[in-house]
Amino acid sequence: MVLLLTDVFLLLTQVLLWIIVGLVTWFVLLKALPRAFLGLLVLLLILLILAVSFFSGPNVFDDSDIFRTLWYLISLLFKPLSLGIILLLILLTGAKINKVVGQIIRVGLVLLLACCLPIVSYFLAQELEWEGIKMIRPVAAQVAGDTPVIVLLGQGTTRPFLGPRTTCPQLRAAPAGPPARPATPRPPDSEEPLTAEQYRVLTQTPTQLPIQLTEKADRLLYAAQLYRQNPSSLIVISAPRRLDRKQKEGETKEVVSEAKDIQTFLNQALNIPCEAIRFLDHDGASIRRTAENVKKILADNRINYGNQLTIVNTAMNTERTYRTFREVFGFCPIARPTDFYTIPRRSKLDNLAPERDLVEHNLQAIDFLPSIDALFLGSQAIEEYAGALYYFLRGWIKFRDLTDCGGLAAVPPPAVAIQRANTRNFPRGSINSDLTGSTVAETVPSANQPTFPASTPFTPDSASSTTTSRTTTPVNNPAYKAW
């Protein structure tokens, strides 16, 4: 009883001190300081954070909770939902609004409304995902001694849940007998406690729940599928520490990182062996940092990957991921996008697949009505556009033609080299004839046929050539199946 009274007294003391601190802060900021000086102070703070973000490394906002929070507050101005709420609050305060502020409010609310329309958000996401599709390239011939590496960017694919979790390698089996009661304090009488049977069903075999997945978890399934195609591959998982999971005393960031849960899911649910997923990046909070950390992990462990580096990420983020890894590693990786929200336009697929294999988006009347799903998708697309702009300003990506990847290109076998030589004039976006099981037009150059750059679209009138068509089952094409 005495202990309970002491805890209540300490809690009331903390609350009182917080109230005092809040009142002093309110008085200093709103009463003592002039409004003009306060506005200048806020502006200088925003400019300082922006300067730090541009002139520091990619880790400053990942390692500091203060900078991460301040950056999140500033980024609210660039998100449709939060910007719309701020503008509505300005209107509700009844403050005097000049012409410029009025125009900003109108533009912000129109932006919010546009992002709520499925037809607008679908278009924004479709363009990003199509750019990710264009990053798909055939896998280069593997050189003897090279180890294929699959980089799985897994942030946001799993959710924290009840433990204990069996990690990789497997823990010893639990001793026989009734399960031990969890050593957790009893909740207050006003809350209904979890029964022993409920806890056993959720956390112990054979009814133990697997790692809980989010709507972005297709990356995990796709990485496992790519591994099964080449079991000699290594999977490097990159995912940061969970900010929504309390780190208890004695726990390290490796224990509470999302990468550990992904490793457990791949091993337990998808039967990927532990030896193939032994490399984890627990600090991959951004694409740039992931690329740098993965390069260091591979170098420290002396993994000779040659040009067999595959990246698996959300389709909307694939282009930025591809170009970031290109700059960090010095050669073009193998892009494999997934987590698609949209379907490519038919006009962009007609030359690759028969009509019966095309899935087309059906425009409906509700596509012109606001919805929460459209707001979610549109906000993700806008954030990706803003992220790509930020990476471009930092010099982390370059929007240049990637047809000549250079770097660690392997020397293909003679048969493959001849095959590629026959298709070197294919237009950008076409599938080379060394990919089997697809509808491919093999172009045999005539004597006077010029060489076309990869960025030049091919038209029947652009050159004279003799074309033969070989048709097989289109779904066997690996590049076509990738999306």
Backbone angles phi, psi at 257, to 5 degrees: -80, 155
Q: Are residues 316 and 422 in the same domain?
A: no
273 in the same domain as 167: yes
Residue 319 has pLDDT above 90, yes or no: yes
Q: Same structural domain for residues 302 and 357? A: yes
| Contact status, residue 149 vs residue 305, Cβ threshold 8 Å | yes
On whether the CB atoms of residues 402 and 332 are closer than 8 A, the answer is yes
Q: Are 360 and 103 in contact (CB under 8 A)?
A: no
Whether residue 338 sits in one domain with residue 249: yes
| Domain enclosing residue 1, as ranges | 1-32
Asked whether residue 22 is domain-assigned, the answer is yes
Q: What is the tally of structural domains in the chain?
A: 3
Residues 349, 433, single domain; the answer is no
Reported as a single tens digit per residue, the pLDDT across 87-97 is 888 888 777 77
Q: What is the CATH number of the domain that holds 348?
A: 3.40.50.620
Q: Which residues on adjacent β-strands are paired with residue 150?
A: 235, 310
Q: Which residue has the higher pLDDT, 248 or 304?
A: 304
Does 50 fall in a domain? no
| 160 and 223 share one domain | yes
Rounded to whole angstroms, the Cα distance separating 370 from 393 reads 33
Residue 390, in any domain of the structure: no
Residue at which a domain ends, from 347, 369, 391: 369
Tokens of 60: 């400053």
Residue 375 · residue 81 · CB < 8 Å: yes
Q: Quick one: 224 and 277 in the same domain? A: yes
For the segment 46-67, the average pLDDT, to the nearest whole number, is 62
**Structural domain includes residue 76:** no
User: Is 52 inside a domain boundary?
Assistant: no
Band the pLDDT of 246: cuts 50, 70, 90. Answer: confident
The answer to whether the beta carbons of residues 260 and 254 sit under 8 Å apart is: yes
Final residue of a structural domain among 335, 351, 369:
369
Q: How confident is the model at residue 466, as a pLDDT?
A: 35
Same domain, 429 and 346: no
Q: Please indicate, yes or no, whether residues 158 and 272 belong to a single structural domain of this protein.
A: yes
Asked if residue 152 belongs to a domain, the reply is yes
Do 362 and 476 share a domain, yes or no? Answer: no
Is 428 inside a domain boundary? Answer: yes
Residue among 272, 292, 267 at smallest CA distance from 226 = 272
Instruction: Write down the pTM of the prediction.
Output: 0.71
327 with 430, same domain?
A: no
- Mean of all residue pLDDT scores within the chain: 75
Q: Are 367 and 118 in contact (CB under 8 A)?
A: yes
Q: Which of 350, 369, 388 is the last residue of a domain?
A: 369
Give domain status of residue 248, yes or no. yes
